[in-house]
Homo-oligomer: A and B are copies of this chain.
Amino acid sequence: METVSENVCFDGVQGVYTHRSEVCACDMTFGLYLPPQAKSGPVPVLWYLSGLTCTHENAMTKSAAQGFAADAGLALVFPDTSPRGADVADDDAYDLGKGAGFYVNATQDPWTPHFRMWDYVSQELPELLGKEFAVDLDRQAITGHSMGGHGALTIAMAHPNRFASVSAFAPIANPSQSDWGRKQLSAYLGDDDAAWAKHDATRQMEAVGFDGPILIDQGGSDQFLDLLKPEALAHAMTTRRQNSVFRMQKGYDHSYFFVSTFIPDHIAFHADALGL
């Protein structure tokens, strides 16, 4: 693992690191914010999964999360959204290939062997963090924006007892029924609908739910509402009687101005679930 940069921020350190990923068979870059409390010992971790076209950097620079993480004593992890490199398959569209890994393990060519973001985010990267940094993997929570909200919800539901809480900003909530989903799941996983189920937050909510609290924020003026399908997830959460809060935020769109507005609430929500 190599250090790309480290900047002091709210008395902690915002770092960027690269490492060889065995899972993705390429070099991967991630951001990690360690709050000042990490100087004294391992701190709980909040994962932030980003959306289409993003790298590790967008949320790290635009979400304004570090100050609130420092107050709470939470580390923030900002993974990339896909494998990277000259030999990694790509597509001309912004919503497939690089920057659009969709948090799945691809089984279809040309996306194998690199596109394995599910295993990367849920196995390899946590192991690396636990080995290299003062983080407490017994206390984790997860959030994300758009495609990253999809990733956060599906990974949380598939790993019972790992995350104390999950939240999402404008998640892709029902990808099996959306052009943000059908195209990508078909490309990466093939046309076997059964393989899609665990990568659809609404269907996972119907099937298994989540064993902790959920917070969802959705902008009421989001330009992608028809693709996100928040109503499907709200229906599924309510039908399951899932411990959850779904907030439709009037006037807000899909941008980081929306994310930064509500990130304080999300960090407070996760800090509470983690007993901070």
Establish whether residues B64 and A67, one from each chain, have CB atoms under 8 Å apart when the complex forms.
yes
Establish whether residues A66 and B8, one from each chain, have CB atoms under 8 Å apart when the complex forms.
no
Contact residues of A: prevailing secondary structure:
mixed
Q: Which residue of B is nearest A219, CB measured?
A: B8
Bound CA span A245–B114, Å? 53
With A61-B62, A67-B264, A264-B67 as contacts: A255 and B7 at CB distance below 8 Å: yes
Establish whether residues A64 and B260, one from each chain, have CB atoms under 8 Å apart when the complex forms.
yes
Give the Cβ gap from A50 to chain B, nearest Cβ, in Å.
15
Establish whether residues B260 and A9, one from each chain, have CB atoms under 8 Å apart when the complex forms.
yes
Cβ contact of A14, chosen from B66, B257, B264, cutoff 8 A: B257
Contacts of A251 in B (CB 8 A): 8
Contacts of A8 in B (CB 8 A): 219, 221, 251-253, 257-258, 261
Establish whether residues B62 and A260, one from each chain, have CB atoms under 8 Å apart when the complex forms.
no
- Copies in the assembly, this chain: 2
A269 within 8 A of B: no
Establish whether residues B7 and A257, one from each chain, have CB atoms under 8 Å apart when the complex forms.
yes
Contacts of A264 in B (CB 8 A): 67
Could you tell me which residues of chain A, from 1 to 48, have a CB within 8 Å of some CB in chain B?
7-11, 14
Q: Which residue of B is nearest A261, CB measured?
A: B10
Bound CA span A256–B221, Å? 29
Q: Which residue of B is nearest A254, CB measured?
A: B7
**5 new A-B pairs (CB below 8 Å) besides A14-B257, A62-B62?**
A7-B255, A7-B257, A61-B62, A64-B67, A67-B264
A–B Cβ pairs within 8 angstroms, 21 of them: A7-B255, A7-B257, A7-B258, A8-B221, A8-B251, A8-B252, A8-B257, A8-B258, A8-B261, A9-B257, A9-B258, A10-B260, A10-B261, A14-B257, A61-B62, A61-B256, A64-B67, A64-B260, A66-B260, A67-B260, A67-B264
